[in-house]
Amino acid sequence: MTTIFDTIKAVAFEIDTAIKTSDLGYSDSENSSGEDQLKLDVQSDIIIEKAFASVAVVKNLVSEEKEGVLELNEGGKYTICYDPLDGSSLVDVNLSVGSIFGIYEGELKAENLVASAYVVYGPRIELMIATKGEAPMLSRIIGGEFKEIGSVTMGEKGKLNAPGGTQQNWCDYHKTFIDDLFAEGYRLRYSGGMVPDLHQIMLKGGGLFSYPGTSDKPHGKLRQLFEVIPFAFMYEQAGGQAINNKGMRLMELVPSHPHDTSPCFFGSNYEIEALKKAYGIKN
Ligand code: P6P
């Protein structure tokens, strides 16, 4: 696993350089979710694919930017599902973006996730790594290389509310629930970048990030294998919860297709329990 984390650290530097120097225009292609691809999306994907090609323990890759499973090393042990540059459309307005990695052993389903990692490209490059049974570990670049800062745990109740999705397409009880949190004094913290938005809640003691099913996207927007499950793992390991609209742990998801999405709620215990009540979910 160490070689995988070292490879993620190496690609973090390369992608950060690409963000700062590359053309921000659109390529002439779409990804598997039908989203227009920025040249930076394609470039970041190539950086990651090339880097893992020489890591023997990596058997396969699944990328947000490509259809299907890419076989790398027949004798490998792990499949890495990744979003090479999540929120890339925010780069041209100089907001933070990130790369997300889910490391699976065996069938691609949540219970087979053995570790997850994400990189935040912001005023600083930051890396978060979570392995089974360990609280997520935050690392920052000090003296030109990643140094561990400390493990991250969330409080029982936070102050931040990150409500995703098009509000006019929310169901009534979701809108009431979100409004009630604001009425309790929660502060709106939503940039449209999943990585910095979830990173902020983890580092600032907790709160709620929600991307519900909506009338235009009943199965949500965020992809299970390389967005939802890696962060669900992080949040549970940090002492929080991560569930779908039926109250099922996101760590029980079994995608039927590599690009399946899921409604998703990540947060501290207080906010998730309040959501379950608002959604009529019995524990
Ligand atoms: P919306 C970025 O495109 C992304 O995939 C996530 O990073 C982010 O949380 C979400 O979409 C934002 O979606 O519909 O709120 O703009």
Residues 6 or more apart from 250 whose CB is under 8 A from it? Answer: 110, 224, 228, 229, 232, 242, 243, 244, 262, 264
87 DSSP 8-state letter: T
- Separation CA 216–CA 258 (nearest Å): 21
Q: Is 86 touching ligand 1 by the criterion CB < 6 Å? A: yes
Q: Is 207 touching ligand 1 by the criterion CB < 6 Å? A: no
Q: Is 84 touching ligand 1 by the criterion CB < 6 Å? A: no
13 DSSP 8-state letter: H
Tell me the best of 40, 86, 89, 209 to mutate to test the pocket of ligand 1, counting ligand atoms within 8 Å of each CB and taking the most: 86
Atom 12 of ligand 1: nearest residue by CA position:
192
Atom 2 of ligand 1: nearest residue by CA position:
87
Ligand 1 atom closest to the CA of 193, numbered from 1: 7
**What does each of the 283 residues of the chain score in pLDDT, given as a tens digit?**
999 999 999 999 999 999 999 887 888 887 777 777 789 999 999 999 999 999 999 999 999 999 989 999 999 999 999 999 999 999 999 999 999 999 999 999 999 999 999 999 999 999 999 999 999 999 999 999 999 999 999 999 999 999 999 999 999 999 999 999 999 999 999 999 999 999 999 999 899 999 999 999 999 999 999 999 999 999 999 999 999 999 999 999 999 999 999 999 999 999 999 999 999 999 7
Q: Is 255 touching ligand 1 by the criterion CB < 6 Å? A: no
The helix or strand, by DSSP H or E, that contains position 15, with its residue range, turns out to be helix 2-21
The encoded tokens of residue 107 equal 């069938």
Atom 1 of ligand 1: nearest residue by CA position:
165
Do the beta carbons of residue 155 and residue 204 sit within 8 Å?
Answer: no
Looking at the chain, the whole-number percentage of residues with pLDDT higher than 70 is 100
Q: What would the pLDDT profile of 245-261 be if each residue is shown by its tens digit?
A: 999 999 999 999 999 99
Do the beta carbons of residue 26 and residue 38 sit within 8 Å?
Answer: yes
Q: Does the predicted TM-score (pTM) go above 0.75? A: yes
Domains identified in the chain and CATH numbers: 2-151 (3.30.540.10), 160-278 (3.40.190.80)
